Amino acid sequence: MTAELGVTYSLSPAIDCLHTLYLGPFKMYCKLVLWSLLNARVWGSLQLTVSEGLQLAVNRLRGALWDWYKERHEKFPKENLTKLAELTHKMLGTPADPLLKTKAAETWGLVHFCVDKTLEHRHALGRTGLPLHEAGKCIVEHIQVMKSHGCRLPASAIQSLHDTLKRHLLILIDFAEDLPFAWELPKHH
């Protein structure tokens, strides 16, 4: 860092979005939504044997995701949306130990999928459906604020970033008892 180059700690702060947001709260949100949808049996029953039922449900989830990618591209052909390279039941863990093993760069497209699916399946999700949808919309709004202002954010944009993440967290806190696992640890902060 040197002032001669115009790069200083006070003038040039940068957030590593991939690690602080996409692998943190955004990925945790996607994990929460996907497991909420799986538990709601949106893509089939988990009741065969846990392994067989989960594998069948994840295959249907993958098909729904791949169809959604195609529909989204048709609707927004110029959008540069990240996509999962693959989705397997091993990437999602088990109902007793839910996971989401995705890369940070794959998360952005998955956030949009989750936002759309929480609205589409809000009735199957019960009282958490619309709050999960709203929490996801906060994430999308957060990134839109960041993208629309570039590297130098005015005070109003910084406040908007704080507001969107705070709103996201408050929505999830209000429904914590109804969610499929303890979402707040370790990454959702």
| Domain map (residue ranges) of the chain | 16-178
Its pTM stands at 0.85
Please say whether the dihedral angle defined by the alpha carbons of residues 99, 100, 103 and 108, taken in this order, is positive or negative: negative
Rg (CA), the chain: 18
- Cα 85 to Cα 15, 36, 54, distances in angstroms: 26, 22, 19
pLDDT in tens, 152-179: 888 999 999 999 999 998 998 888 777 7
- 51 pLDDT band, cuts 50/70/90, is confident
Residue in the block written with tokens 């704080």: 162
Report the C-alpha gap between 148 and 50 in whole angstroms. 44
Report the C-alpha gap between 6 and 152 in whole angstroms. 13
* pLDDT reported for residue 178: 74
* pLDDT reported for residue 186: 45
- What angle, 0 to 180 degrees and rounded to 10, lies between the N-to-C axes of helices 129-149 and 155-174? 160
Which burial class, exposed, middle or buried, applies to 136 when counting CB atoms under 10 A from its CB (0-12, 13-18, 19+)?
buried
* pLDDT reported for residue 142: 93
